[in-house]
């Protein structure tokens, strides 16, 4: 065999190996998923993130033909769960659902063991949710005006829930205290699910939380509603003032959610998972439930990895200076 024949043989063999390899990759992506998928929630069961995850997971399970299992990995305002997902195998079987906390963590945590902008696969933005400021039925103020007066007079006698540094309940509490120039007593919870139980029982005075959990309690008249955190009043709660119109200058928090996986998920698998999320966001069982809970699904043009990455980048820039001014850090 001369040199040319040897080279040709080697090239044919290499081509065959490549074809076989790409064939097996295509087959793996085509077969995906072959086992249950974990969707990790960074906060306690029963809270707003968990509610959204479970509504989506039920619909995605039908679409994917495999169970999407919701797992709650609690701690450090969502950064424990994000760390678990950043280190998971990038095989399409572990994902994270998270909110604004993904954008505030880089400012709040001095030693974050992952980079939110480079250590993940980005799936899609999901839905935006307003927050409501609530009091327990046992807490004296009845209106936002009364709440502001009471807060200024009683300050740290008031118990306010927070679900950890990076939680939106904590973010809302921080902005509220800055705007009112008063300090509340912050009570830590593993999520606002347990905080709501404490509010209903009167062990907690005040909770700022998403409508996905609070709307049913407000409608059932089990809590006092002081105001909403959006720039405009909500159609679902037209009598509730915005915190802005109540004198809290520029106050606005809208909670946005996204889905992430570990960096390096094969594109075909990521695309299949994204397709299942998009199908869930069109499923009438999901849209009706989400609408009932006051959340707004993002437009289809934002249901993709690039939109999530761009939004996350912009939100890091937005919250960074505000949080630095509040001087809250964890090591
Ligand atoms: C939760 O799901 O418990 C909340 O989103 C936690 C929070 O960020 O306040």
Tell whether 276 is covered by a domain.
Answer: yes
Nearest CA to ligand 1 atom 7: 167
For residues 141 and 110, membership in a common domain is answered with no
From the CA of 172, give the closest atom in ligand 1.
Answer: 9
> Of 117, 46, 106, 119, which is closest to residue 77 (Cα–Cα)?
106
Percentage, residues of the chain above pLDDT 90: 84
Structural domain span for residue 148: 131-228
Higher pLDDT, 10 or 67: 67
pLDDT tens per residue, range 243-301: 999 999 889 999 999 999 999 999 999 999 999 999 999 999 999 999 999 999 999 99
Q: Looking at residue 322, what is its pLDDT?
A: 84
Q: Is 193 in the pocket of ligand 1 (CB under 6 A)?
A: yes
For residues 124 and 139, membership in a common domain is answered with no
CATH number at residue 48: 3.40.190.150
Q: Is 43 in the pocket of ligand 1 (CB under 6 A)?
A: yes
pLDDT tens per residue, range 90-131: 999 999 999 999 999 999 998 899 999 999 999 999 999 999
* Mean pLDDT (whole number) for 209-224: 97
Q: Is 47 in the pocket of ligand 1 (CB under 6 A)?
A: yes
The burial class, CB within 10 Å (0-12 / 13-18 / 19+), for 270 is buried
For residues 42 and 76, membership in a common domain is answered with yes
Tell whether 234 is covered by a domain.
Answer: no
Q: Is 213 in the pocket of ligand 1 (CB under 6 A)?
A: no
Tell whether 12 is covered by a domain.
Answer: no
* Mean pLDDT (whole number) for 222-228: 98
Tell whether 107 is covered by a domain.
Answer: yes
Residue 147 has pLDDT above 60, yes or no: yes
**Which residues on adjacent β-strands are paired with residue 109?**
330
On average, the pLDDT of the chain sits at 91
Domain tally, the chain: 2
* Mean pLDDT (whole number) for 308-316: 97
Tell whether 22 is covered by a domain.
Answer: no
Q: Looking at residue 257, what is its pLDDT?
A: 98
For residues 137 and 110, membership in a common domain is answered with no
For residues 142 and 120, membership in a common domain is answered with no
pLDDT tens per residue, range 6-16: 444 444 444 44
Nearest CA to ligand 1 atom 6: 191
Residue 283 Cα to ligand 1 middle (Å): 24
Residues with Cβ < 8 Å from 51, sequence gap 6 or more?
Answer: 212, 213, 293
CATH number at residue 144: 3.40.190.10
Residue 170 Cα to ligand 1 middle (Å): 9
CA angle 77/304/287 to nearest 5° reads: 75
pLDDT tens per residue, range 22-54: 444 455 677 999 999 999 999 999 999 999 999
Q: Looking at residue 26, what is its pLDDT?
A: 52
**Which residues on adjacent β-strands are paired with residue 95?**
39
For residues 167 and 85, membership in a common domain is answered with no
């Amino acid at each position: 065999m001369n040199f040319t024949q040897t080279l040709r043989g080697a090239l044919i063999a290499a081509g065959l190996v490549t074809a076989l390899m790409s064939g097996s990759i295509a087959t793996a992506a085509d077969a995906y998923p072959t086992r249950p998928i974990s969707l990790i929630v960074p906060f306690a069961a029963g809270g707003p993130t968990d509610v959204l995850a479970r509504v989506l997971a039920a619909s995605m399970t039908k679409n994917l033909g495999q169970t999407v299992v919701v797992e709650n990995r609690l701690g450090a305002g969502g950064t424990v769960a994000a760390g678990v997902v950043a280190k998971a195998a990038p095989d399409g079987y572990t994902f994270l659902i998270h909110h604004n906390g993904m954008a505030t963590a880089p400012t709040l945590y001095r030693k974050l063991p992952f980079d939110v902008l480079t250590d993940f696969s980005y799936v899609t933005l999901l839905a935006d949710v307003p927050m409501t400021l609530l009091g327990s039925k046992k807490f004296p103020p009845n209106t936002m005006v009364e709440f502001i007066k009471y807060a200024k007079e009683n300050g740290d006698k008031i118990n306010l829930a927070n679900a950890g540094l990076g939680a939106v309940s904590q973010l809302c509490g921080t902005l509220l205290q800055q705007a009112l120039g008063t300090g509340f007593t912050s009570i830590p919870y593993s999520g606002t699910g347990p905080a709501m139980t404490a509010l209903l029982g009167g062990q907690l005075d005040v909770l700022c939380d998403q409508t996905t959990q609070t709307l049913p309690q407000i409608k059932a008249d089990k809590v006092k509603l002081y105001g909403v955190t959006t720039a405009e009043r909500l159609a679902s709660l037209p009598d509730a003032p915005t915190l802005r119109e109540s004198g809290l200058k520029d106050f606005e928090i809208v909670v946005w959610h996204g889905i992430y996986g570990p960096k390096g998920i094969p594109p075909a698998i990521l695309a299949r998972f994204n397709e299942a999320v998009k199908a869930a966001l069109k499923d009438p069982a999901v849209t009706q439930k989400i609408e009932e809970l006051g959340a707004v699904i993002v437009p289809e043009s934002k249901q993709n990895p690039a939109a999530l990455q761009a939004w996350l980048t912009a939100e890091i820039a937005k919250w960074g200076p505000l949080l630095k001014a509040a001087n809250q850090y964890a090591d």
